[in-house]
Structure 1
Amino acid sequence: MPELSRRRALTTTVALAATTGVRTVVPAQASADPHHSPGTFDEVYKGRRIEGRPVGGHHHGTGYTILVDGVELHVMRNADGTWISVVSHYAPVPTPRAAARTAVDELQGAELLPFSAN
């Protein structure tokens, strides 16, 4: 009997999954449509009010505005559909809501100061 290699095991697994109708799970950030703008949100997270809504005319098409306690949190969408903020620039997240929550976590109760992108 031939020795089972990783390649052969993977090929067999993929073929089996395809024939049994098993769906492939893709991480949210990899499957995010970079041309789709998420909806609005308005909630209190850890005692801070976070709001988000799409806005038109920002850079390349529709942008997104996030407010933390009424102060704008500068956010940007990456090419892969993930989001980053000025507070958590090196920690991409799948949605603007997650960016707002991450910023609140990072601020640890500190006030968000206005940010000038220019």
Structure 2
Amino acid sequence: MSRTMTRRALLRGSAAAAAGLAVAGAAVAASGQSATAMDHTGHGDHTGHGDPGLQPFDEVYQGRRITGRPVEGGHAAHHGGYAVTIDGKDLHLMQNADGTWISVVNHYQTYGDPLAVTRAAVDKLRGAVLVPIATA
């Protein structure tokens, strides 16, 4: 909390956010849909938000074996439906709402597909071993 932020201002902001959520909930209710019954046309079976056109890859890039493939379950499916490894170690990828991709190595730069973000991660690692993170 900043020095200029008072408890009163924080509570006022929290109340405004809660009011905004209430208005959004009322708008969904008025539209006749629940949050769990929203139309997901074009989103496959909702096991992941991944693009069904994404192809698997298996190549050597900068001397590192990189592989990627669509997945249909588990944690990777929740973050875009794509599993990637660098030299057999999992690289955690996430797909943004706009369809771009980020990884734990390149978290602040977006890429157009899993292959591009994986290659960028290899570049950023500069030969270092990828240490997988616990995502559970």
Q: TM class by shorter-chain length?
A: 0.5 to 0.7
Equivalent residue pairs, number: 85
Structure-2 change in CA distance of 1:105 and 1:59 (3 Å): same
SS at match of 1:53: strand
* Structure 2 segments unaligned to the other structure (5+ residues): 1-42, 44-48
Higher share in helix: 2
User: If the length of structure 1 is used for normalisation, what is the TM-score?
Assistant: 0.67
Structure 1 segments, 4+ long, off by >4 Å, are none
Alignment of 1:43 with 2:59, yes or no, is yes
Provide structure 1 residue ranges, at least 5 long, that are not aligned to the other structure: 1-32
Q: Deviations over 1:48-91 (max 9, x none)?
A: 0000000002227x610000000000000001010000000001
Which protein has greater RCO, CA pairs closer than 8 Å, 6+ apart? 1
More strand by share: 1
Rounded Cα–Cα distance in structure 1 between residues aligned with 2:103 and 2:67: 14
Are 1:76 and 2:94 matched, yes or no?
yes
Does residue 92 of the first structure (1) align with residue 75 of the second (2)?
A: no
- Aligned-pair distance for 1:35? 5.1
| Residue 113 of structure 1 pairs with residue 131 of structure 2 | yes
Q: TM-score, normalised by structure 2?
A: 0.58
